[in-house]
Amino acid sequence: MSNNTDESTVRLEHEPSDTRFALYIDDALAAYAEYTQHGDLRDFDHTVTEPDFRGRGLAGRVVKFALDATRDEGLKIGASCSYVENFVSKNPEYRN
């Protein structure tokens, strides 16, 4: 069950060509977490929730997906973005 998306389709994707992880609701980009890759460090430097989709917890969902994927790839997590830094501080399992 998704937060306030009624019967919409929620899709999470890694888009390496755009150096981001994205969350779509139906076909609309709702939130994303951008990163810069430095060797084995993936530094998350920008997180955005589009204005029409704010207040639904979507940034947290896309960041969790991004950090899980990064960890699963054996990469270290960097948190230049204050949102990601705060998320990691509240979820210590993502600390390197």
Q: What is the pTM of this model?
A: 0.90
8 A C-beta contact, residue 35 and residue 66: yes
* Res 24 pLDDT > 50: yes
Spell out the domain ranges in the chain. Answer: 10-94
* Secondary structure E strands in 1-96: 10-15, 20-25, 28-38, 41-49, 76-79
Spelled out in words, what is the top-level CATH class assigned to the domain 10-94? Answer: alpha beta
pLDDT of residue 2: 41
Could you report the per-residue pLDDT of 56-93, keeping only the tens digit for each?
Answer: 999 999 999 999 999 999 999 999 999 999 999 999 99
| DSSP 3-state of 15 | strand
pLDDT of residue 21: 98
Q: What is the pLDDT of residue 1?
A: 36
Give the confidence band of 6 by pLDDT, cuts at 50, 70, 90: low
Phi/psi for 42 (5° steps) reads: -105, 110
Half-sphere exposure at residue 49, Cβ-oriented, CA atoms within 13 angstroms: 14
